[in-house]
Chains A and B, each alone.
Chain A
Amino acid sequence: MLRLEKLVKTYKTGDQALKAVELEVPEGQVLALIGPSGAGKSTLIRCINRLVEPTSGKVYLGDVELTGLSSGALRRERRQMGMIFQEYALVERLTVMENVLSGRLGYVGFWRSFLRRFPQSDVDEAFRLLDRVGLAHMADKRADELSGGQRQRVGICRALIQNPALLLVDEPTASLDPKTSRQIMRLICELCKERGLAAIINIHDVALAQMFVQRVIGLRLGAVEFDGPPTGLTPEVLTAIYGEEDWEATIEAVEEDDTEATS
């Protein structure tokens, strides 16, 4: 469904963030992208919807090649890619409802959005989504009145109301406490399953990634170092991705978490 071919990103400073990354994501698969800071995880995600322009290479979403699209065609393709951000990236001075409805901007005309007269079906869907994440009563609150976990739920609603085929998720739990982090990850994965969405989740918490996804990609210095199921993350693999460190504790913690989650 999503295919990256020899994707390269070289920044103006000369830093090569991505070195010919090849990746194929089938329909409905949730995968985690792990790797140390600066490995190019954020860049990779942003090159897919071209918030960052890739230097060379190709990105296929279904049959459409994204890197060569005009700005109008790119906007239409972006509607199919919902994005969830680190630190939520809600527009703080807008209400929760406005933030959720902003996910529909690609579908409605300027004046409708300017006057906040969204189609009834969009408003209904927004309430349904907010209710699904337990925030329907907060619709008219301003986004900056919400707690971190609540904000990220609104961010999830904003991405889903686009009715996307693919979710691009950039460090969804980076500024959340451990419990809220799990709840958010669980919510994202459940929603992906419900709607048959594919998702690429950037995450630096390896244990959390292992708990929820079917496939893990390890990125190191802009190149894919590991691609396999979460059980394949042995100490040797983690050392290859992150460098030398005692990994036993991390892996043990995951096993405990697993039993806890299933029991």
Chain B
Amino acid sequence: MSDVSVLIGKPWKKPSFIQRPWLRWLLILGFVGYLIVAFSTIEVNWSRVYAGLERGEKFILAFTQPDFTSRSSDIWEGMIESIVMTIASSVVGIAISIPIALGAARNVAPLPVYLICRSIIAISRALQEIIVAILLVAIFGFGPLAGFLTLSFATIGFLAKLLAEDIESMDKVQAEAIKASGAKWTQWINYGVQPQVMPRLIGLSIYRIDINFRESAILGLVGAGGIGATLNTAFDRYEYDTAAAILLIIIVIVMALEYLSGVIRARVQ
């Protein structure tokens, strides 16, 4: 026991995360120095920025008078294509993700299955959507099929990983109680695991639909169909008013999805 009278009257400070003062200051000063050096290497061509401001202004002004009409059939077609892509890829992606998520949860799956499923997830996450889209466009040609496959593939990495983590952090005892009744593995999943992860699954699925829709607008830029293709064409033709109309529609749809997901997630608790 230490003598408490030695401690009385002395100020108390939270012990530092890094104990050695010289190491602590070296890391702080090193980091600040690096930031200064890094920023000083960014080259800005101010005359180019000045010239570009005018184009930027035109672009922004186009938003004040978006042109929905003159290319309305193109916009409509692109939009339908994007929505179809989004729904189809989300449904397929989520359907494939669920068994992979079960396999990737260590408390549900045996080790070999776990390793296989984790590597599928790792591959899906390592390959960025645009790269996958370029590859698939090369294989399947221009059009929404490549986009659909890209988004399905990307959905697996996202949904399976997060769902697996939710399964791993579920309440073990609830699942144990189902097991103790003599349930089969499938029944155990259905009664002991599924109810616990359902709110998360629904929340993630809606979030992924949202992401897939936004991605579908990007994937068009590399020729994978959807509203992105229409947007790309509009930019190529310097039709900023049409581009603005497309962007506005995308914003409205994303916000609507955001609102919808909030409502649904509040319902499913």
Contact A91:B191 (CB < 8 A) given known A78-B181, A105-B182: yes
Taking the complex as formed, is B196 at the interface, i.e. its CB lies under 8 A from any CB of chain A? yes
Q: How many residues of A contact B (CB 8 A)?
A: 33
Say whether B183 contacts A83, CB under 8 Å.
no
- A43 to nearest B CB, angstroms? 13
Instruction: Out of B177, B182, B195, name the residue touching A89 (CB < 8 Å).
Output: B177
Complex contacts, B184 vs chain A, CB 8 Å: 75, 105, 110
Contact A75:B174 (CB < 8 A) given known A91-B192, A105-B191: no
Main secondary structure of the interface of B (DSSP, over half): helix
Complex contacts, A81 vs chain B, CB 8 Å: 180
Say whether A105 contacts B196, CB under 8 Å.
no
CA distance A75 to B196 in the complex (A): 23
Say whether B195 contacts A114, CB under 8 Å.
no
Contact A87:B183 (CB < 8 A) given known A93-B196, A94-B195: no
Taking the complex as formed, is A162 at the interface, i.e. its CB lies under 8 A from any CB of chain B? yes
Say whether B181 contacts A106, CB under 8 Å.
yes
Complex contacts, B206 vs chain A, CB 8 Å: none
Say whether B176 contacts A89, CB under 8 Å.
yes
Complex contacts, A114 vs chain B, CB 8 Å: 186-187, 190
Q: Tell me the residues in window 97-150 of chain A with beta carbons closer than 8 Å to chain B beta carbons.
A: 98, 102-107, 110, 113-114
Q: Closest chain A residue to B197 by CB distance?
A: A93
Complex contacts, B1 vs chain A, CB 8 Å: none
Instruction: Out of A79, A83, A107, name the residue touching B177 (CB < 8 Å).
Output: A83
Taking the complex as formed, is A188 at the interface, i.e. its CB lies under 8 A from any CB of chain B? no
Instruction: Out of B177, B192, B198, name the residue touching A85 (CB < 8 Å).
Output: B177
* In the complex, per-residue mask of B244-263: 1 if CB is within 8 Å of any chain A CB, else 0: 00000000000000000000
CA distance A62 to B208 in the complex (A): 53
Say whether B187 contacts A91, CB under 8 Å.
no
Complex contacts, A93 vs chain B, CB 8 Å: 195-196, 198-199
Say whether A79 contacts B173, CB under 8 Å.
no
Taking the complex as formed, is A193 at the interface, i.e. its CB lies under 8 A from any CB of chain B? no
Contact A102:B178 (CB < 8 A) given known A91-B191, A113-B191: yes
CA distance A104 to B187 in the complex (A): 11
Taking the complex as formed, is B214 at the interface, i.e. its CB lies under 8 A from any CB of chain A? no
Taking the complex as formed, is B179 at the interface, i.e. its CB lies under 8 A from any CB of chain A? yes
CA distance A102 to B190 in the complex (A): 10
Say whether A91 contacts B196, CB under 8 Å.
yes
Q: Tell me the residues in window 180-225 of chain B with beta carbons closer than 8 Å to chain A beta carbons.
A: 180-184, 186-188, 190-192, 195-196, 198-199
- B202 to nearest A CB, angstroms? 12
CA distance A158 to B182 in the complex (A): 12
Instruction: Out of B177, B180, B186, name the residue touching A110 (CB < 8 Å).
Output: B186
- B16 to nearest A CB, angstroms? 33
Complex contacts, A29 vs chain B, CB 8 Å: none
Complex contacts, B186 vs chain A, CB 8 Å: 110, 114
Q: Closest chain B residue to A108 by CB distance?
A: B187
Chain B residues near A (Cβ < 8 Å): 171, 173-174, 176-184, 186-188, 190-192, 195-196, 198-199
Given A77-B182, A98-B191, A104-B181, 13 more A-B residue pairs with CB atoms under 8 Å apart are A49-B180, A76-B182, A83-B180, A85-B173, A86-B173, A92-B195, A93-B198, A102-B181, A105-B184, A105-B191, A110-B186, A110-B187, A113-B190
Chain A residues near B (Cβ < 8 Å): 49, 51, 75-79, 81-83, 85-87, 89-94, 98, 102-107, 110, 113-114, 155, 158, 162, 168
9 pairs of A and B residues whose beta carbons are closest in the complex: A106-B182, A105-B183, A78-B182, A89-B177, A93-B195, A79-B182, A83-B180, A89-B173, A75-B182
